[in-house]
Amino acid sequence: MAKYFTDQMNNTIRLEEFPSRIVSLVPSQTELLCDLGLDEKVVGITKFCIHPERWFNNKTRVGGTKQLNIDAIRSLKPDLIIGNKEENTKEDIELLKEIAPVWMSDISTLDESYEMIEQLGDITNSIIVANQIVADIKREFSKIILPISIKSVLYFIWKKPYYVAGKATFIDAIIQEIGFDNFCVENRYPELEDDVVNQPDLIFLSSEPYPFKEEDVLEMKKKYPTSKVLIVDGEMFSWYGSRLKYAPKYLNELIQQLANE
């Protein structure tokens, strides 16, 4: 009996049965599918799907999130493709819809990440596990110890040119969740063309997608002499799947580190 599912972009797909050949196009959602117990049902992932390591080493890779190998995906004969509005291109997704039903996420808040986890649990017949994952994440986030003073944060995701995380992003949601203010008032990921005149309290250089290094910290300290500059774990700020279980511990340690300096 066919079932209908509506994704986070308000598109409805029809499945004749629960999927058994899934291609995942988003790293954080790939890890979630593993934690949902779908090891045998996921047949394709991207080259950026590094968690879990055994999947990265053994599953068929179908290109990058924005440079997908459509022919490779077609050869896997998927019965469900799982993507994300921000991670994947509209052009690729339209092509993939001709191959199999495509379920898309669109996430900029924690609540939307919980919704995504629950919906993927529903569509893959693993809703009990999905509900437990959401409960575990919520429990861990309830342990966040907010800082005594609110500080402004400029969060860099790329270099040459410099791009920062602005409003209406999941990174912005996490920054707010830990009691800080996003220094960038623009939406999405604006390019930072000139050095800002009023300097933020904190500059976070993300470990991904651009792998900022210690030499970048030194460079930033010259550009922003009054700001505290440090490299942060990008997965803890931007992965909106089951890896969120680990984020609160890391974020609490980060808050404590900043409080002691």
Q: Is residue 147 part of a domain?
A: no
Taking the C-alpha atoms of residue 175 and residue 57, their distance in angstroms, rounded to an integer, is 33
CB atoms within 10 A of CB 23: 30
**Are residues 122 and 187 both part of a single domain?**
no
Residue 176 has pLDDT above 70, yes or no: yes
For residues 240 and 148, which has the higher predicted lDDT (pLDDT)? 240
Q: Is residue 90 part of a domain?
A: yes
| Tens-digit pLDDT profile for residues 149-171 | 899 999 999 999 999 999 999 99
The CATH number assigned to the domain holding 110 equals: 3.40.50.1980
Q: Is residue 145 part of a domain?
A: no
User: For position 32, what pLDDT does the model report?
Assistant: 98
**Are residues 134 and 161 both part of a single domain?**
no
pLDDT band, residue 198 (cuts 50/70/90): confident
User: For position 196, what pLDDT does the model report?
Assistant: 63
Q: Is residue 22 part of a domain?
A: yes
Q: Which of 140, 162, 194 is the last residue of a domain?
A: 140
**Are residues 108 and 9 both part of a single domain?**
yes
Q: Which of 120, 140, 160 is the last residue of a domain?
A: 140
User: What's the mean per-residue pLDDT of the chain?
Assistant: 96
Q: Six-digit token pair at 72?
A: 């490779």
Q: Is residue 244 part of a domain?
A: yes
| Residue 258 one-letter amino acid | L
Residue 115 structural domain: 3-140
In the chain, the number of structural domains is 2
Q: Is residue 195 part of a domain?
A: yes
User: For position 52, what pLDDT does the model report?
Assistant: 96
| Tens-digit pLDDT profile for residues 72-109 | 999 999 999 999 999 999 999 999 999 999 999 999 99
